[in-house]
Amino acid sequence: MAYEDIRRLLPHFRFEGRFENAVEINAGNINTTYHLIYRLPDGEKKEYLLQRINTYVFKDPDGVMRNIIMVTEHIEKAYAAQGVDSSRRVLRVIPTTDNQPLYRQSEDSCWRAYNYVDHATAYDMLEKPEHFLEAGRAFGEFQRLLTDFPAAELTETIPGFHDTLKRFYAFVASVAADKAGRVKELEEEIEFFFDRRKVMSQIVKALEAGRLPIRVTHNDTKINNVMIDDETGRAICVIDLDTVMPGSALYDFGDAIRSGASTAAEDEPDLSKVSLDLNLFELFTKGFLSEVKDILTPEEIELLPLSVQVIACELAMRFLTDYIDGDLYFKIRTPDHNLVRARNQMALAKDIEAKFDKMQAIVRKYAQNA
């Protein structure tokens, strides 16, 4: 039961009111999350999120929290300067009773808390196409509000997170090590990534050559990382800021499209259902570029379609690497979950390749009038 798991932690945070209920939220492949309800003496409800940070993935939880605090404070100030009420627009860290952003229960058990954005939903699959236009606008706005934030002040908490070439070499090393004895059944899948090594390394090479700027990026713009207001249908808050780091705006565009514009869930095993919905691609592109077309360089805009291909391949390769390693990184719900996910993203990547020219035409349409 959720309460039993967390009751010893609750007194360590500055939650207001009396504890009423805790429910585990089954979202995310990395951290464990609880939704908490408290009640003030006057009857008002106070809601929070309590999360256990996965320290296998995040080796520097203090660095993660430092990044999050700097970035959320910056966004809050930017909204204040625009006269926008930011109470439901940005995550806020709830400190511990000794005023720390983290509570360390033991060496490998780290907890943190946030305000809860109420009357809003994080969808794994969007229910209405308009939501995706909104998501594009929200991730674009996130990017825009952080253009004047000095990226060098952020810690690279997972070094090379979207360095796809480095991830390719890690994948090759995992294939060679074959720790879980699974490589023999995976010839076709492995070949897929060797065939795409060059394409996958294009963004990181352009960054290294200085042809693309380093920006503050979210790095995990999966569609369930934006909250949609239940009443207005507008995207109100970008969440899951654990991977906010210096990076490329292309990562955020590519990851959002590969997750939100797919016609199937990320772990749908029936590959005939997996494709890129160009209508959704267009909606997101429209929303995203409405916020950032004056900020992005011509080269960044030109490479937006490529970013979708690169991030879909990268994630497919990450899932396959984890399957080969024996499922150490992503949470799994079935023994072949990572393999199913990898094949799903490979199918999506193939469809993205087939639709490349159409994506390019759409990007050009919305990049005009800059």
**Residue 242 and residue 230 in contact, taking contact as beta carbons nearer than 8 Å:** no
Conformational region of residue 17, where left means phi above 0, alpha means psi within -120 to 50, and beta covers everything else: left
Pairing state between β 109-115 and 93-94: antiparallel
| Least distance from Mg ion to the Cβ atom of residue 33, Å | 9
What is the distance between the alpha carbons of residues 367 and 300, in angstroms, rounded to a whole number?
11
Nearer to ligand GN1, 207 or 312 (CB): 312
End-to-end CA distance of the chain: 53
Per-residue x/- mask for ligand GN1, residues 295 to 334, rule CB under 6 A? --------------------x-------------------
Backbone angles phi, psi at 255, to 5 degrees: -70, -35
Nearer to ligand GN1, 304 or 342 (CB): 342
96 binds, among ligand GN1, Mg ion, none (CB under 5 to 8 A by kind): none
Binding residue count for ligand GN1, defined by CB under 6 A: 11
Any long-range contacts for 202-206 (C-beta under 8 Å, 24+ apart)? 202/303, 202/306, 202/310, 203/162, 203/164, 203/248, 203/250, 203/251, 203/303, 203/306, 203/307, 203/310, 204/162, 204/163, 204/164, 204/165, 204/166, 205/165, 206/299, 206/303
Q: What Cα–Cα distance (Å) separates residue 19 from each residue in 25, 47, 92?
A: 17, 10, 19
| Least distance from ligand GN1 to the Cβ atom of residue 81, Å | 29
DSSP state of 261: S
Q: Does 267 bind ligand GN1 (CB under 6 A)?
A: no
Closest by CA to 154, choosing from 283, 79, 64, 89, is 64
Of 25-33, 292-300, 302-310, 351-359, which segment contacts ligand GN1 by CB under 6 A? 25-33
Range 206-225, binding ligand GN1 (CB under 6 A): 220, 222
Per-residue x/- mask for ligand GN1, residues 28 to 57, rule CB under 6 A? xxx--------------------------x
29 binds, among Mg ion, ligand GN1, none (CB under 5 to 8 A by kind): ligand GN1
Nearer to ligand GN1, 223 or 367 (CB): 223
| Least distance from ligand GN1 to the Cβ atom of residue 361, Å | 27
Of 27-35, 119-127, 210-218, 271-279, which segment contacts ligand GN1 by CB under 6 A? 27-35
| Least distance from ligand GN1 to the Cβ atom of residue 28, Å | 4
Please give the residue ranges that form the binding site for Mg ion (CB under 5 A): 28, 225, 240
Q: Which residues bind ligand GN1 (CB under 6 A)?
A: 28-30, 57, 220, 222, 240, 242-243, 266, 315
